[in-house]
């Protein structure tokens, strides 16, 4: 369990009133060593932010009396050594607007991801990933939800 506290980090109202940000996450990971030599990993995580801004601050509505949602959920499944040197992973995540995440992620997000890594030799490896991320809820005053699909493939060589 993690508890995150950031003093004065949150803008709570449209008037600019600031407040402390406080959130907690609970997470677990289970692993099974399968007889075939593969390893199955499952991880899950739930997060909640206790101090939440008004909906209007995060453009989720027009009601100043209502707070934006602060619940987050993430689950992932990974199969290691699916074939020799090959690892495969899946992720699904939903974060409501009040959760402050890293700069690589949005709040108010719906995310799916599949990732594959393969090690050809001790020096050469490759990784491919396909990630979908989109707005979990539609913002007020916009035409539609934002959505993006990120494909990438990369090769890494460690010289010796």
Partner 1 sequence: MKIRSVISSYTGLCHSASLILILFINTPVLNAQIPLTDNDKLFLTGDIRTGYFGIIGENRDGSSADFHEIRNRSRIGIRYTPHQRVTLQVRYALRVNSRDFELKCSLLSYLQPGGMLTSLYSGITKMLRAIRTGVRLIWIIPIHHTHSSPISADHIMITL
- Contacting positions for partner 1 (CB under 8 A): 2, 4, 23, 25, 27-33, 41, 43, 45-47, 72, 74, 76, 78, 80, 87, 89, 91, 93, 95, 99-102, 104-105, 113, 115, 117, 119, 123, 125, 127, 134-135, 139, 142-160
Q: How far apart are CA 93 and CA 134, in angstroms?
A: 11
Closest distance between partner 1 and the C-beta of residue 65, in Å? 25
- How far is Cα 156 from Cα 87, in angstroms, rounded to an integer? 16
CB of 14 to partner 1, least distance (A): 20
User: Please, what is the minimum distance in Å from the beta carbon of residue 110 to partner 1?
Assistant: 13
Long-range contact list for 136-145, CB < 8 A, 24+ apart? 136/94, 136/95, 136/96, 136/97, 136/108, 136/109, 136/110, 137/60, 137/69, 137/96, 137/97, 137/108, 139/58, 139/59, 139/60, 139/108, 140/59, 140/60, 140/61, 140/62, 141/59, 142/59
Smallest gap from Cβ 17 to partner 1, in A, equals 22
| Of 23 and 57, CB closest to partner 1 | 23
Query: Would you say 16 or 149 has its CB closer to partner 1?
Result: 149
Compute the radius of gyration of the chain from its Cα atoms. Answer: 19
Which C-beta is closer to partner 1: that of 36 or that of 102? 102
Cα–Cα distances (Å) from 143 to 1, 20, 105, in that order, read 38, 32, 22
Nearer to partner 1, 16 or 37 (CB): 37
User: Least distance in Å: CB of 32 to partner 1?
Assistant: 5
Which residue number, 65 or 155, has a Cβ lying nearer to partner 1?
Answer: 155
């Amino acid at each position: 369990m993690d508890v995150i506290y950031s003093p004065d980090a949150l803008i709570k109202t449209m008037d600019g009133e600031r407040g402390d940000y406080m959130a907690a996450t609970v997470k677990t990971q289970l692993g099974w060593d399968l007889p075939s030599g593969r390893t199955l990993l499952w991880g899950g995580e739930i997060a909640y932010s206790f101090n939440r801004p008004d909906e209007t601050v995060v453009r989720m509505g027009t009601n100043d009396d209502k707070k934006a949602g602060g619940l987050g959920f993430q689950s992932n499944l990974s199969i290691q050594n699916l074939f020799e040197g090959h690892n495969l992973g899946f992720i699904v995540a939903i974060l409501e607007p009040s959760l402050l995440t890293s700069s690589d992620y949005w709040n108010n997000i719906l995310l799916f991801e599949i990732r594959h890594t393969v090690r050809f030799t001790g020096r050469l490896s490759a990784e491919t990933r396909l990630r979908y991320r989109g707005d979990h809820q539609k913002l007020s005053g916009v035409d539609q939800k934002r959505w993006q699909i990120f494909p990438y493939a990369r090769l890494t060589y460690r010289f010796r």
